[in-house]
Chains A and B, each alone.
Chain A
Amino acid sequence: MFTTNQVLETIEMVEKEHLDIRTVTLGLSLLSCIRESAKKTAEAVYAHVMRKAEKLVPTVEALSGEYGIPIVNKRVSVTPVSLLTAAFPEESMLVGMALDRAAAELGIDFLGGYSALVQKGTADYEEKFLRTVPLTLASTKRLCASVNVGSSRSGINVDAVRLMGELVKETAERTKEEGGMGCCKLVVFCNAVEDNPFMAGAFHGVGEGDTVVNVGVSGPGVVHTALKRIPEADLTDAAETIKKTAFKITRAGQLIAREAAKRLGARFGIVDLSLAPTPARGDSVAHVLEELGLEVVGCHGTTAALAMLNDAVKKGGLMASSRVGGLSGAFIPVSEDIGMIESAERGKLSVDKLEAMTAVCSVGLDMIAIPGDTPASTISAIIADEAAIGMINNKTTAVRVIPVPGKGVGEEVSFGGLLGRAPILPVHEGSAEKFIARGGLIPAPVHSFKN
């Protein structure tokens, strides 16, 4: 049984500290939808998604009402589309449009899986598929794309890295009316996971079951408040407090995940133990780090504080859930976190510091606006650096940068809603063009050979 104080604590968390379930994501395998043409495949994909996810939004809303806990997003992730359209890759956009239409009709904000996994080499059909990404993202609203360009096991596919630098630029250009918005829906991964519930990088891996519910929890505000109560505690005690708080948050996520899976006739996949911020005040990972004693996020000490936070969240969460997966770590998207935005506006947060932070947390250089005239090879080099961190450290890393067309350092771009706003951060000027142009594969590190 629980006590009066525990009941009030939970209510306080929901009402004042932004405790919520960030996303219930339904993963769907679409392999059974492959037909002899792109048009027929698109039709089959649309019908399948509509049938399987029909009840997603009403079911999740009913759960939210019953348990008295907000569930912010309902989403769908699907089998990487490049696998569905391998026989007619140039027409992949038809499938993308069908998925976007399904998402709109289901009433969900994002659907992920316009993806390709090319970590060891880019097949001809995959390259043709990837080249459809910019136009497809510019022609759709809810579809998210992701590409895996490296892994600890296979190394980094630099040919794909080079291509992605160009495609990120092209995506920004094609969506320049909205500040390069298309790039908010395009993630380049190293060590991508197959059960990630969070957008824009979610896709449903081929190793997964048919229909799976994955849940992403949230709660930077709850952790922040818990730390505020112990301003003089040493870091051991602070870590302990974070751990206990993460336990409670994750328990709520696990409960919703199990119940959602049952009602949707799906398998319960995983709970993703990520601290995911939103642009709302009181829901910031940066502010948690500052509460630990940093004057401003981005100063020296930020990496250590983040490492501690990330580890403590995992320890608490692992104990709370029977099945943990996804990305599981603290997210540091610049435009989606009010503390990060403010630090960047004051010139206290650099891309270099963010890169260092990604070495100790999930997930990568996320939602960072950079000058519109940044060369494609520099974006590729940013991707390569980030992939190297992931490859060597056996962790997922990603790059979601927005080269904002027509804007430069000192200006700002706003995407609205959960995507927030971002001041444009400077990138280094030296060119990596020759390095990227060499292409080939950066071999897998020696410690990947474990067999």
Chain B
Amino acid sequence: MRAVVTVTGVDRRGVIAAVSAFLAEKKVNIEDVSQTILGDRFAMIMMVDASEAEEEFAVLAEQAAELGKSIGMEVRLSHADLFEAMHTI
């Protein structure tokens, strides 16, 4: 299943490493990454494939949010269909 990971917050060291390590551990494959820094705000978006993940998607999303808290960022894992639906005709 295709999903989108978004990471936002104040820029700091090790964010990409922490998020990538988490995804690897959960057997989620990163397919595409884009990242921007606006002032001191960091925003990263990853397209991922979560079809081999062992946990239920909703559980995974919760764990991603918890990871975010532990590194002081907002981390969200959402189904890609939502963005597809809202932004394409």
Contact = CB atoms under 8 A, between A and B. Distances in A.
B77 interface: yes
Contact of A6 (B8, B56, B74, B86): B86
A66 B6 contact: no
Interface string B59-89: 0011000000000001011110111111111
A3 B87 CA distance: 9
Nearest to A319: B89
Contacts of B76: 11, 68
B53 interface: no
Contacts of A7: 4, 6, 45, 83
B45 A66 contact: no
Contacts of A255: 81-82, 85
A251 interface: yes
Contacts, number: 65
Given A2-B83, A4-B36, A10-B87, A65 B43 contact: no
B58 interface: yes
A42 interface: no
Interface in A113-155: none
A66 B53 CA distance: 14
Given A66-B57, A252-B85, A8 B79 contact: no
Contacts of A251: 85-86
B4 to A, nearest CB: 6
Interface centre among A252, A254, A319, by most chain B C-beta atoms within 10 angstroms, is A252
A8 B87 CA distance: 11
Given A4-B34, A68-B77, A62 B85 contact: no
B26 to A, nearest CB: 15
A321 to B, nearest CB: 10
Interface residues of A, number: 23
B6 A8 contact: yes
A2 B6 contact: no
Contacts of B77: 68
B62 A65 contact: yes
Interface string A1-17: 01110111111000100
A15 B75 CA distance: 12
Among B43, B62, B87, B89, residue most surrounded by chain A Cβ atoms (within 10 Å): B87
A319 B85 CA distance: 12
Contact of B81 (A9, A15, A61, A67): A67
A248 interface: yes
B83 A10 contact: yes
A69 interface: yes
A257 B61 CA distance: 21
Contacts of B57: 65-66
A11 B82 CA distance: 10
Contact of B83 (A6, A15, A62, A254): A6
24 contacts: A2-B83, A2-B87, A4-B34, A4-B45, A6-B86, A6-B87, A7-B4, A10-B82, A10-B87, A11-B6, A11-B76, A15-B74, A61-B58, A62-B56, A65-B61, A67-B79, A67-B81, A68-B61, A68-B76, A68-B78, A68-B79, A69-B82, A248-B86, A254-B85
Given A4-B34, A248-B86, A254-B85, 13 more contacts: A2-B83, A3-B87, A4-B36, A6-B83, A7-B83, A61-B58, A62-B56, A65-B61, A66-B61, A69-B82, A252-B85, A255-B81, A255-B85
Interface of B: 4, 6, 8, 34, 36, 43, 45, 56-58, 61-62, 74, 76-79, 81-89
Q: Which 7 A-B pairs have the closest CB atoms?
A: A65-B58, A68-B78, A251-B85, A6-B87, A2-B87, A255-B85, A248-B86
